[in-house]
């Protein structure tokens, strides 16, 4: 009776602590949610979600389309809440809270913990660290699918562990459903499948008893994946198809991902500050296998423990952290695909190893070791709070909102607007709207007169390219006395700056303003020579 009361007290205290942590994390995510402008991809989310339904649904079978399910899920939300920056990003902040509870559930199955509010409780430590991680915070404040991808891959992992532990068929069905949803939310989350396949090989002795259920679950992925595999294989094997990404050497891949998940990608101080973070992750990876459970911990968590050897469980975390990186790099040697945010869902594995490293330090000695673990935790928490706040309030995203507002307030109806790159017209339509259920409705009137900036990445010799630019610019500016030019990622469209050169020669720069990632210019076209 006394033991049962002790268990209830321990579990209740841990759950109360987790609830308070989730509430604090929610407040942390809402702080500064609209501090920065939407960038191009976030505006695209609104456009792709609210356009005619058949066009969004067609993305499920269209080549090279990513995240169609996310756009479909956002559609009713925008109809209900509007399309303001806050409405868009609020969903990411809210969804990201689920990851905190999910990592606690996953950690309870893989890592030692006693249910008490101590540094030996790795599940609660992992939840705390995921809640504060600056990289996870960044995408919880961005109107894209990445916080949802973290939640879905964590749910998929929890479902896999539960199915392996219990062998129940409905658990395998949950695993199949959630993982399929994840793939249609972001294609590269499909890399969680080989991670779990390697886990199955490590899950001795459970893999001998669960192979039938797992095999049926894997065969179930054939049907939802069929619409994707035919065009993916075609593009992967077509020599002249370009993904649009530059190849990233493996050393740079590792460096970028390390800075991201250690919370220093946008930090305003030297990378040496993350040395304690790296030390703890390595400690969890290299020494964590020796962290067995005490008798009390084993008894407390008997119902949820994934019953394989501790060394194998740490090996599973290593596979989760490193396997997707190696797989994506291998694919990128054929067709470059590496973008760090595509692997945001390996972040929980990083955090779990970090929490395990703190437990290793905590249990390595007596009182001095416990003090050292506490000091390391305070350091990591303090570092991540500072970095998280800095990245929220410091302009890091393209300041489309500020640039478009600046121009819209001064532009006269008879002044031409030139957008370089042309895709910026979606941002103009959005930021000059009322942010209602369809901010793009009747937006042509707010945009006109306008013209697309010239694309000069056509491989033509300079002399021929300049002649074409001259002809195009004369047609574009004919009849206008002044023109506003907004330059966003212009190097990807006009790498030779031929449009700039033409304006420098045939127009007078009357006004110029620079924003983060955006340059605004106003030209007088008084020097233009008529054809």
CB distance 456 to 494 below 8 Å: yes
CB-based burial of residue 170 (10 Å sphere; 0-12 exposed, 13-18 middle, 19+ buried)? Answer: exposed
**Res 274 pLDDT > 60:** yes
Can you tell me the mean pLDDT for 315-333? 95
Contact assessment for residue 350 and residue 281, using Cβ atoms and an 8 Å cutoff: yes
The predicted-structure confidence for 206-237, as pLDDT tens digits, reads as follows 777 888 888 888 888 777 776 666 656 656 56
Q: Tell me the C-alpha distance between 41 and 144, whole Å.
A: 8
Cβ(203)–Cβ(157) below 8 Å: no
Confidence band of 6 (pLDDT split at 50, 70, 90):
very low
Q: What is the pLDDT of residues 159-207, one digit of tens each?
A: 999 999 888 889 999 999 999 999 999 989 999 999 999 999 998 777 7
Q: CA-to-CA distance for 451 and 426, rounded, in angstroms?
A: 13
Q: Report the alpha-carbon distance of residue 440 to residue 390 in Å, rounded.
A: 33
Say what the pLDDT of residue 237 is.
Answer: 62
Output the CA–CA distances (angstroms, integers) from residue 403 to 71, 396, 398, 455, in the order listed: 26, 14, 9, 22
Q: Taking phi first (over 0 means left), then psi (-120 to 50 degrees means alpha), and beta for anything else, what does residue 37 get? A: beta
For residue 189, how many C-alpha atoms fall within 13 Å in the half-sphere facing its CB? 27
How far is Cα 478 from Cα 466, in angstroms, rounded to an integer? 18
SS3 482: strand
User: Beta strand 518-524 with 482-488: parallel, antiparallel or unpaired?
Assistant: antiparallel
Question: How far is 218 from 228, CA to CA, in rounded Å?
Answer: 16
Residue 529: other Cβ atoms inside 10 A: 8
Unique residue bearing structure tokens 């950690």? 107
CA pair distance 40, 48, nearest whole angstrom: 12
Q: Once rounded to an integer, what is the mean pLDDT over residues 239-243? A: 62
Q: How confident is the model at residue 2 (pLDDT cuts 50, 70, 90)?
A: very low
Domain ranges for the chain, please list them: 36-393, 400-524
Q: Are 100 and 348 in contact (CB under 8 A)?
A: no
Query: Mind listing the pLDDT tens digit for each residue in 345-372?
Result: 999 999 999 999 999 998 887 889 889 9
Structure tokens at 425: 């017209």
- 34-38, 243-247, 407-411, 510-514, range with the lowest pLDDT: 243-247
Residue 123 preceded by cis peptide, ω within 30:
no
Q: What is the pLDDT of residue 236?
A: 59
Q: Is the pLDDT of residue 66 over 80?
A: no
**How high is the pLDDT of residue 63?**
67
Residues in the chain, how many? 531
CATH topology classification for 400-524: Rossmann fold (3.40.50)
Mean per-residue pLDDT over the chain, rounded: 88
441: number of Cβ within 10 Å: 12
pLDDT the model gives residue 79? 93
What pLDDT, on a 0 to 100 scale, did the predictor assign at position 59?
81
pLDDT of residue 238: 64
d(CA 80, CA 440): 17
């Amino acid at each position: 009776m006394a033991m049962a009361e002790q268990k209830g007290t321990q579990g209740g205290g841990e759950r109360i602590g987790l609830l308070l942590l989730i509430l604090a994390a929610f407040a942390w995510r809402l702080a500064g949610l609209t501090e920065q402008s939407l960038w191009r991809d976030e505006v695209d989310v609104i456009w792709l979600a609210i356009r005619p339904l058949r066009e969004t649904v067609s993305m499920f079978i269209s080549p090279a389309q990513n995240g169609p399910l996310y756009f479909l899920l956002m559609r009713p939300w925008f109809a209900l809440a509007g399309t303001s920056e806050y409405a868009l990003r609020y969903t990411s902040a809210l969804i990201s809270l689920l990851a905190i509870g999910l990592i606690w559930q996953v950690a309870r199955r893989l890592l030692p913990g006693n249910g008490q509010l101590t540094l030996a409780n790795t599940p609660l430590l992992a939840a705390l660290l995921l809640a504060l991680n600056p990289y996870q915070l960044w995408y919880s404040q961005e109107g894209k699918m990445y916080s949802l991808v973290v939640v879905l891959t964590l749910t998929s992992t929890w479902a896999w562990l539960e199915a392996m532990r219990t062998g129940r068929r409905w658990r395998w069905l949950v695993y199949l459903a959630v993982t399929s949803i994840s793939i249609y939310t972001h294609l590269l989350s499909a890399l969680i499948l080989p991670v779990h396949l390697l886990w199955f090989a490590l899950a001795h002795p459970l893999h001998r008893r669960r192979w039938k259920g797992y095999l049926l679950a894997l065969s179930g992925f054939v049907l939802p994946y069929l619409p994707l595999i035919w065009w993916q294989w075609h593009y992967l094997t077509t020599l002249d198809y370009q993904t649009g990404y530059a190849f990233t050497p493996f050393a740079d891949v590792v460096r970028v991902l390390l800075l991201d998940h250690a919370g220093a990608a946008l930090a305003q101080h030297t990378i040496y500050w993350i040395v304690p973070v790296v030390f703890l992750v390595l400690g969890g990876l290299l020494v964590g296998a020796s962290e067995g459970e005490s008798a009390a911990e084993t008894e407390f968590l008997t119902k949820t423990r994934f019953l394989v050897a501790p060394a194998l469980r740490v090996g599973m975390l290593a596979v989760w952290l490193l396997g997707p990186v190696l797989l994506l790099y291998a694919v990128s040697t054929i067709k470059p695909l590496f973008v760090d945010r595509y692997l945001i869902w390996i972040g929980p594995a990083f955090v779990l190893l970090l929490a395990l490293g703190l437990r290793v330090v905590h249990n390595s000695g007596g009182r001095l070791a416990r003090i050292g673990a506490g000091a390391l935790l305070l350091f990591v928490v303090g570092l991540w709070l500072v970095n998280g706040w800095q990245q929220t309030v410091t302009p890091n995203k393209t300041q489309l909102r500020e640039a478009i507002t600046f121009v819209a307030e001064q532009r006269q109806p008879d002044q031409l607007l030139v957008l370089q790159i042309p895709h910026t017209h979606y941002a103009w339509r959005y930021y000059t709207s009322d942010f209602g259920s369809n901010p793009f409705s009747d937006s042509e009137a707010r945009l006109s007169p306008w013209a697309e900036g010239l694309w000069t990445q056509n491989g033509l010799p300079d002399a021929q390219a300049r002649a074409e630019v001259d002809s195009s610019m004369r047609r574009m500016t004919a009849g206008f006395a002044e023109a506003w030019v907004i330059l966003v990622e212009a190097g990807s469209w006009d790498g030779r700056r031929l449009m700039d050169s033409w304006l420098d020669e045939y127009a007078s720069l009357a006004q110029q303003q620079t924003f983060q990632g955006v340059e605004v210019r106003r030209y007088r076209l008084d020097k233009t020579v008529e054809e």
